[in-house]
Amino acid sequence: MRIKLIAFNGRYIHSCLALYYLREELRRRLPGALPELRQFTINDPYYPTLLKIGEDAPAVLMFSVYIWNSELILRLLGDLAQILPATRFVLGGPQVAALQPTHLPDRTTLVHGEVEGLPDAFYTDLIENHLAPQYRAESGRPFPSPYRDEDLAGELSQRQVYYESSRGCPFACSYCLSSVARGVNWKEVARVKEELGFILAHHPKLIKFVDRTFNARPERALAIWRFLAESAGETVCHFEMAPDLFTREMFAFLADLPPGRFQFELGIQSTNPATLRAVNRVMDLEKVGENIRRLATMGNIHLHADLILGLPGDSAYSCRHSLNQVFAMGPHHIQMGLLKVLPETAVNSTPGLLHAHRPPYEVLATSTLDHPTLRQLYWLGECVESFHNNRYFTTFFKYLRNSDWEIAAFFGDLLELCRSRNFFSLAATQELLTGLLADLVRERRDGPLLLEILRYDWLRCGHRFLPAALGESDLTECSRELARSMPPNLDPLYEYRNRSEFLKRHTFSRFSGRALAVFGWSAPGDGVVAFLAEREDSLHRHQKTILLPA
């Protein structure tokens, strides 16, 4: 029996964990079947995708349906039903509960719940070709790792490897699908280590733990981390963490990790206590701030903080305040995502909440945020995404963090400038971003200093020229001046024999004493910074810098 399992991922590097689970269950329960797994992205061209899925007239096509791909799958089903008159369609995944059977081809079966809990009847009906319209799975069954050597050595070697050491979430935020199914299914730590060891033997670039709250049991999280620290080598590990649930032991462990080995996604959503109460989100805000600041100061873990726009009870003021507070904590990435009002979640019944009627059900307005205000906040979030969430301006934003500039107001001004320059229709190159920031700060009281900081950040990214917006200082002139004035030997940087090579290989720029102080040097006056050809062993891998002796 030819069974094809189809996934549509957001990007090529993603993979669909659910489909690997499904394949393993089919192999286990129907030893004769040879399920074939095919992954596409939602951006692949439609017609060739339709042809590839319909090739060889499979007996059964199974799809994994999420809010981000359900519209595409519905469109495909309509066309596949015409070209594959004998094929049966099976749909599973979190978005299945929201599908209307009347909108689906009549040969469609909906599967609700976890694949490991499907009743035997599903498999016998599948073999006998009389599947019922719907099946419900029991939850809480064991879920062994679904990967095989050939997956990890083949298709997954180019993609992120998803892994879950626990299923479900102990919390119950009213906007989240994980809160609909209660309880958590924890896998034994010994088992987790064994499965991770198998995955790590293939040296994937990144393992993404999809545990909804990885540190819900801190001791358990720490035991898995210790194993990863010993066994993961260069593999980067990504975790979704509750920012208030870090223990002293966790900090002690994390402090010793090499830079970039772990990434944390930290769900904050709002710093408005009334909003958190309204969405049933339990979080100690004081601890959140304290912990993220501490992690940011350690500087070896990439920190991605999530805020949600359009939660019940949030206003323009509280959303801006959340941004100000989270920015002050110092995460590397701040995401201001729109609330998705999923049909089966409790938040859906909030009075005054308007949302798109089709997936992904983005919020349009709430009783405390009218649509124009939400629109403004959305574009503000896009500005944060473009300018803040990269490695280009780390010193610049660090300076703003310690200045009197309210960051929400800063991004508000930047948004106005971006709109006036049609920024959102242009390619957001580092040069364009730098030019806009330079134009925004040029006339400020501390404008000259901010322009120096932008120049420093630009050169730390490895450029050997200056963009027009920062062109006042001539790098060539600085090198010429050094060629005239530098001593013949400068231990440990060069000896007379390689003096000219030193001057050729690296990039030099002069900065004021005030700017040097911002970069962490204390100098009596101006000084020249050398931007070396080598990179730092740090999170952002900027160029190494040294201040040349006066």
Min dist CB 262 to ligand SF4, Å, is 19
- The helix/strand/coil state of 138 is coil
Q: Does 341 help bind ligand SF4 (rule: CB under 6 A)?
A: no
- When the beta carbons of 175 and 410 are compared against ligand SF4, the nearer one is 175
b/e code 436-464 from CB counts within 10 Å (16+ = b): bbbebbeeeeeeebbbbbbbbbbbbbebe
Nearer to ligand SF4, 96 or 173 (CB): 173
Asked whether the beta carbons of 264 and 302 are under 8 A apart, the reply is: yes
Q: What angle do CA 420, 422, 423 make, to 5 degrees?
A: 110
| φ, ψ of residue 118 in degrees (nearest 5) | -65, 140
DSSP-derived 3-state class of residue 167: strand
Nearest approach, Cβ of residue 176 and ligand SF4 (Å): 3
Nearest to 162 by CA among 196, 113, 189, 114: 196
- Kindly tell me which of 58 and 310 has the beta carbon lying closer to ligand SF4: 310
- To ligand SF4, the closest distance from the beta carbon of 167 in angstroms equals 11
Taking CB under 6 A as the rule, does residue 267 contact ligand SF4? Answer: yes
Contact 508, 465 (CB under 8 A): no
Give 219's contacts (C-beta < 8 A, 6+ positions apart).
Answer: none
CB-CB neighbours of 286 under 10 Å: 9
DSSP state at residue 84: -
Torsions phi, psi of 40, nearest 5? -125, 175
How many residues sit in the footprint of ligand SF4 (CB under 6 A)? Answer: 10
List, in sequence order, the alpha helices (H) in 133-188: 149-153
Binding mask 112-151 for ligand SF4 (x = CB under 6 A): ----------------------------------------
542 lines the binding site for ligand SF4 (CB under 6 A): no
**Strand spans (E) along 191-330:** 206-209, 236-241, 262-269, 302-309
To ligand SF4, the closest distance from the beta carbon of 280 in angstroms equals 8
Interface positions, 166-205, toward ligand SF4 (CB under 6 A): 169, 171-173, 176, 178-179
Query: Of 171 and 410, which CB lies nearer to ligand SF4 in the complex structure?
Result: 171
Q: Is 347 in the site for ligand SF4 (CB under 6 A)?
A: no
* Subset of residues 411 to 470 that bind ligand SF4, contact rule: CB under 6 A: none
The residue among 359 and 467 lying less far from ligand SF4, judged by its C-beta, is: 359
Angle between helices 316-329 and 285-298 (to 10 degrees): 40
Measured distance CA(358)–CA(448) in Å, rounded: 49
What is the smallest separation between the CB atom of 301 and ligand SF4, expressed in angstroms? 19
> Which of 178, 434 has the CB closer to ligand SF4?
178
Site for ligand SF4 in 53-112 (CB under 6 A): none
Q: Which is nearer to ligand SF4, 87 or 215 (CB)?
A: 215
**Which of 208/212 has CB closer to ligand SF4?**
212
The CB-of-265 to ligand SF4 minimum distance in angstroms stands at 10
x/- map, 211-230, ligand SF4, by CB under 6 A:
-xx-----------------
Neighbours of 413 (CB within 10 A): 13
Residues near ligand SF4, by CB under 6 A:
169, 171-173, 176, 178-179, 212-213, 267
